[in-house]
Amino acid sequence: MIARWHDDTDDAYVQGNVVSVVPQAAGTVVSIDADEGMRVEAGQALVHLDPNDAQVAYDRAVAHLAATVREVRGLYSSVEAGQADLAARRVAVRQAREDVRRREGLVASGAVSREELAHARDVLAAAEAALSAAQGELARSRALVDATEVASQPQVQAAAAQVRQAWLDLQRMAIVAPVSGHVARREVQLGQRVQPGTPLMTVVPLEQVWVEANFKETQLAGMRLGQPVEVRADLYGGDVRYAGRVASLGMGTGSAFSLLPPQNASGNWIKIVQRVPVRIELDPAQLAEHPLRLGLSMHVDVSIRDQDGPVLAAAPVARDAPLLATAAYADTLAEADAVIARTIAQNLPGAPAAAGGR
């Protein structure tokens, strides 16, 4: 009767997250700070790339920002100069109109010749054309700086974005571990030229492993989510028993998701009992005391007496945070923003002479 409420299998193996360490920028490897079997923490630098090219690009971006600030200052100055020029053009137009009006009254008496009046009218027309051109030039200058300060002007903002990108590229010369765990494999070598996305190392967080048990399809009838499971590892024998629970039942048989699924629609056919992967979660405290490795053989015994649980998850699980997340790549831009603010301030009027740099 005991066997009636238990389903077990030896076709079970340890699985886990295999996290690749990859560069976010291209470069040449100049140092390697971790090797296979070593414990690493999330955010720890594992590989360093040659920073010289990135440093030059960063310095160039800072210099470009400084030059852009000075160019934008010229735009503001051109508005002021345009306003002064426009005022002068208006005075010239007013004087020309007065000259034309006076000469028109004197032509009848013969005090002023018609030729002189025509010349005055030409001067007025030229003054009006110059006024119109000055108004257009002032409008174009204002369009570049209206409702902005130097720091918020679009050209300065674009140059500041280049500084941030160059700063990020410089920081990414140190390639960090995405998660805490143990280095399972190192593929990078000194002097190697790497590109973004090239796998350099593999980190496995052993505290997050689970067991994937492949049960026969005939064993799944009474299996439910949350049922208790007893797990034994061949590594430790019967002396260590892990307490687990059924976390999920596979959405298909192993053959259904294989690279070349079997085709049974033609030819001779022999029925083979299929196996479905069942995910077993383990007690983290027991894992810490008796760590496992990926791929180890396990023996799984599921107690199916309690069948009140669901076969499949009925609704999404409400979470306040992602299931898996890393802050290793959350490069803070505070230092870059400080450099930008300092560079802008050093290139404004009245700023002390200084090189806007790091």
**Are both 263 and 211 inside the same structural domain?**
yes
**Are both 228 and 272 inside the same structural domain?**
yes
User: Which segment of 32-46, 217-231, 308-322 scores lowest on mean pLDDT?
Assistant: 308-322
In a domain, 339, yes or no: no
In a domain, 39, yes or no: yes
In a domain, 258, yes or no: yes
pTM: 0.74
d(C-alpha 173, C-alpha 180), whole Å: 20
**Are both 46 and 179 inside the same structural domain?**
yes
**Are both 209 and 263 inside the same structural domain?**
yes
In a domain, 327, yes or no: no
Kindly state the average pLDDT of the residues 153-177: 93
What is the CATH number for 177?
2.40.50.100
What is residue 210's predicted lDDT score, i.e. its pLDDT? Answer: 95
Going from the C-alpha of 19 to that of each of 41, 47, 214, 249, 322, the distances in angstroms are 13, 15, 24, 24, 17
241: tokens are 């028993």
Tens of pLDDT, residue by residue over 286-306, are 999 999 999 999 999 999 988
pLDDT over 90, % of the chain: 52
Kindly state the average pLDDT of the residues 308-325: 79
d(C-alpha 201, C-alpha 18), whole Å: 10
**Residue among 23, 342, 64, 41 nearest 171 (CA):** 23
Q: How confident is the model at residue 1 (pLDDT cuts 50, 70, 90)?
A: very low
43: left (phi over 0), alpha (psi -120 to 50) or beta: left
Tens of pLDDT, residue by residue over 72-90, are 887 766 666 667 767 777 7
**Are both 218 and 283 inside the same structural domain?**
yes
In a domain, 312, yes or no: no
Query: Which stretches within 172-315 are classed as H helix?
Result: 284-289
Q: How confident is the model at residue 236 (pLDDT cuts 50, 70, 90)?
A: very high
**Are both 231 and 278 inside the same structural domain?**
yes
Kindly state the average pLDDT of the residues 196-218: 94
Kindly state the average pLDDT of the residues 222-243: 92
Domain encompassing residue 72: 56-148
**Are both 93 and 82 inside the same structural domain?**
yes
147 has pLDDT over 80: no
Give how many domains the chain has, as a whole number.
3
In a domain, 323, yes or no: no
Assess contact for 34 and 21: CB atoms under 8 A.
no
One-letter amino acid for residue 236 of the chain: Y
**Are both 269 and 200 inside the same structural domain?**
no
What is residue 5's predicted lDDT score, i.e. its pLDDT? Answer: 86
What is residue 358's predicted lDDT score, i.e. its pLDDT? Answer: 45
What is residue 353's predicted lDDT score, i.e. its pLDDT? Answer: 53
What is residue 350's predicted lDDT score, i.e. its pLDDT? Answer: 66
